């Protein structure tokens, strides 16, 4: 299969030079091991030989769990250990090893069950591990264009016009329907439906089956489908629970599993003391639109584009591209959303460097000025009188974007722009 260069390669290489332990975490089959093996090949050419072992191997796993010290003698650093979540008993011994050697990049680890993994990492390797979160392919990776954290800055967007190829509605929905899994792009012979069916089966059987919260795999699968149908909507646990036939506490636990295993993301509402009527519900987005389409039984890009979920999946696609652009750069995505008790909403807010930039997402070529009608609800955060006259508490409102199917980057007014979805 063809190797697709990952935007997170530079981030992983940089983190490896900063910490003794590099951990790549993310969903199954997104290319964590492939990325590290590619970096290991480059290091080998420079004279650094790195051992490789996968804990999918029952013999290696048994040794790692029952005699971690002997395992690390056999697979001494520098080493790449795949699927580390299967033998978290190794963590104290890795800690002792890196404390003795003081070398950067001794251990490269991958793990896909982060709901189990992260607690052990934080307890055993605090201050010694750099973590890179890897999701499926981004548009930049698929189309070979520069990857950078998204911002609404018009100069940045204008510069991208020269390096990004425009795409029409049909091509965009083919991309949305296909999803982000590398194998679907590296091997054209892979059948989409068979691939996602196998993916879901593996996820349920290997990642979910042995969790105490999940006694019934099929019931969890039904919940996952219900959650997919709620993508791009605020989370109401009672609503999810009723649709899935489980209790609200169970719905909350199961949704946390989907989030922890990077199947979905929860976007928190933006909070500011100047905004008095905001709701506190998080917003749900499924991160792989191909998986979403599979779970909801959409059979083709054309049917999906014309269907009832078209706008919601388009919104989740835009969100996931923005979200991945930050993760690939090794940054925490500074994303929020706005919704108040008067039903006024802003799909996405980016807050960084003291600037709050509103983003509306519309599946339309000409959304009109109505798309920015709610941006004014943010005005109080930029006025000193709402903070007792303390100027330092004010927040600047940045350039706004309407991400849509427009054919070009065009101004809505002096402060806001229509941004073609293929430009993000």
Q: Helices 217-229 and 248-260 meet at what angle, rounded to 10?
A: 80
Q: What is the sign of the dihedral through the CA atoms of 175, 177, 182 and 184?
A: negative
- Output the average pLDDT for the chain: 91
pLDDT at 169 over 80: yes
Binned at pLDDT 50, 70 and 90, residue 2 comes out as confident
- Nearest to 5, CA basis, from 28, 31, 40, 24: 31
Enter the pTM of the model: 0.93
The reported pLDDT for the residue numbered 392 is 56
In our burial notation (b when 16+ CB lie closer than 10 A, e otherwise), range 18-49 reads ebbbbbbbbbbbbbbbbbbbbbbeebeeeeee
Distance CA 137, CA 288 (A): 9
Model confidence over 195-248: pLDDT tens digits? Answer: 999 999 988 777 776 554 566 788 899 999 999 999 999 999 999 999 999 999
Residue 380: predicted pLDDT: 86
Residues 21-51 have pLDDT tens digits of: 999 999 989 999 999 999 999 988 888 899 9
Of 230-234, 276-280, 286-290, 296-300, least confident by mean pLDDT is: 276-280
CA angle 7, 192, 327 (to 5 degrees): 20
**Separation between Cα atoms, residue 388 and residue 104, nearest integer Å:** 49
Give the pLDDT confidence score for residue 85 in this predicted structure. 86
- With a cut of 90, say whether residue 175 has pLDDT above it: yes
Q: Which residue has the tokens 């008993």?
A: 89
**pLDDT confidence of 124, banded at 50, 70, 90?**
confident
Between the alpha carbon of residue 161 and those of residues 26, 137, 164, 317, 383, the distances in Å are 31, 21, 6, 20, 35
Share above pLDDT 90 across residues of the chain, in percent, rounded to a whole number? 78
Q: What is the DSSP string of 169-217?
A: HHHHHHHHHH-S-HHHHH-TTS-HHHHHHHHHHHIIIIIITT-TT-S-H
Query: pLDDT band at 113, cuts 50/70/90?
Result: low
Range 272-277, long-range pairs (CB < 8 A, 24+ positions): 272/380, 272/381, 272/395, 273/386, 273/387, 273/393, 274/380, 274/381, 274/383, 274/386, 274/387, 275/338, 275/340, 275/377, 275/378, 275/380, 275/381, 277/340, 277/341, 277/342
User: What per-residue confidence (pLDDT) applies to 271?
Assistant: 84
Structure tokens at 73: 């003698």
DSSP assignment letter at 19: -
- From CA 3, how far away is CA 187, in angstroms rounded? 10
pLDDT at 110 over 80: yes
């Amino acid at each position: 299969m063809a190797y697709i260069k990952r935007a997170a390669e530079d981030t992983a290489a940089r983190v490896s030079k900063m910490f003794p332990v590099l951990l790549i975490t993310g969903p199954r089959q997104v290319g964590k091991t492939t990325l590290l093996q590619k970096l290991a090949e480059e290091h080998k050419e420079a004279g650094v030989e790195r051992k490789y072992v996968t804990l999918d191997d029952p013999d290696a796993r048994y040794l790692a769990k029952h005699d971690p010290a002997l395992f690390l003698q056999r697979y001494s650093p520098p080493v790449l250990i795949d699927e580390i979540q299967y033998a978290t008993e190794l963590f104290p011994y890795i800690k002792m090893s890196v404390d003795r050697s003081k070398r950067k990049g001794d251990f490269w680890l991958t793990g896909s069950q982060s709901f189990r993994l992260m607690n052990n990492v934080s307890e055993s390797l605090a201050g010694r591990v750099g973590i890179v979160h890897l999701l499926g392919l981004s548009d930049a990776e698929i189309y070979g264009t520069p990857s950078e954290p998204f911002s609404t800055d018009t100069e940045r967007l204008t510069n991208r016009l020269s390096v990004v190829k425009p795409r029409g509605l049909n091509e965009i929905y083919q991309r949305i329907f296909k999803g982000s899994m590398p194998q679907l792009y590296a091997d054209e012979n892979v059948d989409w439906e068979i691939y996602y069916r196998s993916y879901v089966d593996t996820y349920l059987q290997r990642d979910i089956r042995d969790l105490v919260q999940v006694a019934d795999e099929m019931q969890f699968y039904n919940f996952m489908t219900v959650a997919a149908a709620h993508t791009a909507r605020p989370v109401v646990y009672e609503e999810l629970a009723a649709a899935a036939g489980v209790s609200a506490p169970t719905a909350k636990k199961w949704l946390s599993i989907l989030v922890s295993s990077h199947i979905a993301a929860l976007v928190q509402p933006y909070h500011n003391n100047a905004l008095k009527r905001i709701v506190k519900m998080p917003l749900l987005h499924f991160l792989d639109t191909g998986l979403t389409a599979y779970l909801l039984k959409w059979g083709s890009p054309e049917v999906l584009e014309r269907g009832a979920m078209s706008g919601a999946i388009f919104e989740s696609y835009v969100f996931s591209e923005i979200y991945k652009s930050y993760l690939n750069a090794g940054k925490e995505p500074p994303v929020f959303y706005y919704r108040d008790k008067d039903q006024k909403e802003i799909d996405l807010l980016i807050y960084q460097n003291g600037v709050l930039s509103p983003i509306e997402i519309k599946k339309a070529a000409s959304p009109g000025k109505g798309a920015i009608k709610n941006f004014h609800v943010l005005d109080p955060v930029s006025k000193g009188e709402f903070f007792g006259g303390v100027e330092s508490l004010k927040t600047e409102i940045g350039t706004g974007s309407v991400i849509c199917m427009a054919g070009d980057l065009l101004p809505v007014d002096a402060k806001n722009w229509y941004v073609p979805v293929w430009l993000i």
